[in-house]
Amino acid sequence: MASGFFAILDDIASLMDDVAATSKIATQKTAGILGDDLAVNAEKATGFVSSRELPVLWAITKGSLLNKLIIIPIALLLNVFFPIAIKFILILGGFYLAYEGVEKIVEYFFHKPETVHAEEAEDDQADAEKSKIKSAVTTDFILSVEIVIIALGSVLDKTLPIQIITVCIVALLATVGVYGIVALIVRMDDAGFSLIRRSNNKGFLAQFGNLLVKLLPIVIKFLSVVGTIALILVAGGIFVHNIKYLHPFLPALPSIIKEFVLGLVAGLLVVGFVLGFRKVFKRKG
């Protein structure tokens, strides 16, 4: 009886060792997409009044966890019964990410911001909040698919239990790590003001607090630019790795430029299609 119990413990310890090793490898392979995920979601979680930043971020985080609860079992089942479907899902997701990135560029250069009347500001803020949460959760879904697929691809030679545990650990670390860092970023100014108050606006702490306050808008603007570039790069990376006809495309260019060009072209095509569709729809309406 005792020997059986210790044998079970030995099996569990062996499994945990294998999971630790595979999780480390999977996390390293998803590090690039996690960096893009951070840049994209930090940009999407900012731009709200201070009192709404954390509630909005929590809503996006819950959406991200729900995304992964949906994606992980579907990815595991598709990998067993219909693996080719994963590639098509990734490519469709790539087009969506490319569209989001290019749409931001088009909007920045060609769409002038509309003036908002004071009495409409509160309703507009609520609508903008819901819209941004929905957009963030949708984008997170596509990025989560990429993270889960990469993590799963790194453990395909392992047993099913190890695959399941590894993918779940990477998915959880992705959500907690990314949105934890985003929470720290969006509260930089509050931390700065707190340091200023506690130090009576004197000394090193006050100077550091002022630095945090001044840095926040710069960081947000920087993340907005990086997040847009990340969307296009991730999309291009998906195309390069999953469409074999693109492997020999522009061989002389560095991979990062090649991926950016492909993502940009794909985004422009989708944006053009969407704008054309809207025009036709309006005329019929």
Report the predicted TM-score, pTM, of the whole model to 2 decimal places. 0.72
Q: Using one digit for the tens of pLDDT, what is the confidence trace for 95-140?
A: 988 898 898 888 888 865 555 444 445 556 777 778 888 888 888 8
- What pLDDT, in 10s, does the model give residues 207-226? 888 888 888 888 878 877 88
Could you tell me if residue 190 is inside a domain?
no
Report if residue 16 sits inside a domain.
yes
Residue 170 placed within a domain: yes
**How many domains does the structure of the chain reveal?**
1
* Residues 71 and 141 sit within 8 Å (Cβ to Cβ): yes
207 is a domain residue: no
Residue 191 is assigned to a structural domain of this protein? no
Q: How many CB atoms lie within 10 A of CB 57?
A: 25
41 neighbors 140 (Cβ within 8 angstroms) = yes
For every one of its 285 residues, what pLDDT tens digit does the chain have, with 9 covering 90 and above?
445 544 554 555 565 666 677 777 776 666 666 766 777 777 666 666 667 777 888 888 899 899 999 999 998 898 888 888 888 888 888 898 889 889 888 888 886 555 544 444 555 677 777 888 888 888 888 888 888 888 887 787 788 888 888 888 888 888 888 888 888 887 888 888 888 888 888 888 888 888 888 888 888 788 778 878 888 888 888 888 888 888 777 777 788 899 899 999 999 999 999 888 888 877 765
Instruction: State the Cα–Cα distance between residues 67 and 78, nearest whole angstrom.
Output: 16
- Residue 19 placed within a domain: yes
Query: Would 73 be classed as within a structural domain?
Result: yes
Looking at residue 66, its pLDDT comes to: 93
Measured between alpha carbons, how far is residue 201 from residues 105, 197, 207 in Å? 40, 6, 8
Domain limits at 219? 2-185+214-284
In a domain, 195, yes or no: no
